[in-house]
Amino acid sequence: MAAIKTKYKVMKNWMGDPCVPNNMVWDTLTCDYANASPPRVRSINMSSNRLSGDISSSFASLENIQYLNLSNNNLIGSIPYALSQLKSLTVL
């Protein structure tokens, strides 16, 4: 998540683990607490965040992600091959 924050210059107050403690989960994402220990990022909604550039292959490090919304941004280029290898990703 740190690489994603840096690449897109995310100005949100994202610090520490994105899922722990669960009452301080980073905005724009949800975590899976029931099926993963430690909790894992399950979805990210970064739509309409004025992101620009290419789609980062760093999203592929989120092995349990099911939903990734990057719509309504200024992203260019193709979808990184690494994202196609995410077995849980059902919505991009």
Q: Structural domains in the chain?
A: 2-84 (3.80.10.10)
Query: pLDDT band at 33, cuts 50/70/90?
Result: confident
Cα dist from 68 to 47, 73, 88, whole Å: 9, 13, 11
Per-residue model confidence as pLDDT tens digits over 15-30: 666 777 665 566 788 8
- Its pTM surpasses 0.85: no
CA 61, CA 64: separation in Å to the nearest integer? 9
pLDDT surpassing 70 at residue 7: yes
Question: Please, are residues 88 and 35 in contact by the beta-carbon 8 Å criterion?
Answer: no
In the chain, % of residues over pLDDT 70:
80
